[in-house]
Homo-oligomer: A and B are copies of this chain.
Amino acid sequence: MKSLQVELGERSYPIHIGADLLGQADWLTPYIRGRQVAVVTNETVAPLYLQPLLNSLKDFKTTPIILPDGEAHKNWQTLQLIFDALLEQRHDRRTTLIALGGGVIGDMTGFAAACYQRGVDFIQIPTTLLSQVDSSVGGKTGINHPLGKNMIGAFYQPQAVLIDTKTLNTLPPRELSAGLAEVIKYGLICDAPFLDWLERNMSALLSLDNQALTEAIYRSCAAKARIVGADEKESGVRATLNLGHTFGHAIETHMGYGQWLHGEAVAAGTVMALDLSQRLGWISAADQQRAIHLLQAAQLPVVPPVQMTAADFMQHMALDKKVLDGQLRLVLLQALGEAIVTADYAPAALNDTLNAPYTQG
């Protein structure tokens, strides 16, 4: 059991991490202001964890809201189901929304909380490794638009985040690996010693050792909290968290939401960012190989989809939120553990990366 505080002035909040936190009312009720609570979850998570959570909320008027599962449903139509339920059950502006599920549930519930009556409280209980180490920290909420991922949303902070490592017992192995892509990312962008730790502990993580998971999640959240605390609205260093994401979003959009898991797309995108960084002479071929091996140890894809051309990538990347006044900025590595955001690279090098003959391993 470990805790940390995300420091954001009056919007600061705690993250509690450990085995069997879910369903312990004492970890939850101090963060609920009113008497109304809506628990937003999905059809996959509800049968597993909704009832234990509702049991710990016996003193409140609770409204369970069960959404369809998957990134394909991260849109306005699904968001509207949350608003419909809140209004039908007459939730007022002192209500608290609890997100019980993965990143999609967290992003949508957070955005619903940001917008419902112009802002109500919410609490995150992320149940996937990806959401535990990524979307539960930093206040990014939102939905997809047919023309782009996460294009509609808000920066909105929760009252608290509860992470129960036991919820990973029911997570499909492919999704566990997808979460590890983001864990590895923290090592690559800002914590080189963490890469050593990951190389030593990857098998413990894959076998769901609670102590190893708690440590990896804690260290990931702490890295993200440091970065977000320094740059809440993503005007500078926060953008380094998007290592691999510009390429990765292009893969997700091109293949259709839900075909590649987010973390899988980020893993392949990270390899592309490493490739470009190496072509620019910023990291060595050995660094590049070491990172690729770590991603492979986590059972992640390390090559982009074979059918995607350089032109496909360029078309999707032109809509990326990191485009400023027409210039495509990318997150690249100057060394393992040291990322920068820059538009100052040779276009020819990017072109070479997009056309590189990627091969597995």
Number of A positions contacting B (CB below 8 A): 39
Residues from 103 to 144 in A contacting B, C-beta threshold 8 Å = 114-119, 140-142
Residues from chain B with Cβ under 8 Å of A319 in the complex: 87, 90
Residues from chain B with Cβ under 8 Å of A306 in the complex: none
Residues from chain B with Cβ under 8 Å of A92 in the complex: 321, 323-326
**For the complex, would chain A's binding face be called helix, strand, loop or mixed by DSSP majority?**
mixed
A35 engages B325 (CB within 8 Å):
yes
Which of these, B93, B154, B325, contacts A154 with CB under 8 Å?
B154
CB distance from A220 to the nearest CB of B (A): 22
In the complex, residue of chain B having the shortest beta-carbon distance to the beta carbon of A34: B325
In the complex, residue of chain B having the shortest beta-carbon distance to the beta carbon of A148: B87
**A84 interfacial by beta-carbon distance below 8 Å:** yes
B94 engages A324 (CB within 8 Å):
yes
In the complex, residue of chain B having the shortest beta-carbon distance to the beta carbon of A33: B325
In the complex, residue of chain B having the shortest beta-carbon distance to the beta carbon of A233: B119
Residues from chain B with Cβ under 8 Å of A314 in the complex: none
**A152 interfacial by beta-carbon distance below 8 Å:** yes
- Given contacts A119-B154, A154-B115, is CB(A76)–CB(B80) below 8 Å? yes
Residues from chain B with Cβ under 8 Å of A116 in the complex: 151-152
B325 engages A147 (CB within 8 Å):
no
A147 engages B76 (CB within 8 Å):
no
Residues from chain B with Cβ under 8 Å of A94 in the complex: 324-325
Which of these, B80, B118, B152, B321, contacts A142 with CB under 8 Å?
B118
Interface residues of A (CB under 8 A from B): 34-36, 76, 80, 83-84, 87-88, 90, 92-94, 114-119, 140-142, 145, 147-148, 150-155, 233, 318-319, 321, 323-326
What are 6 inter-chain pairs, A to B, with CB distance below 8 A? A76-B80, A87-B319, A90-B318, A92-B325, A94-B324, A118-B154
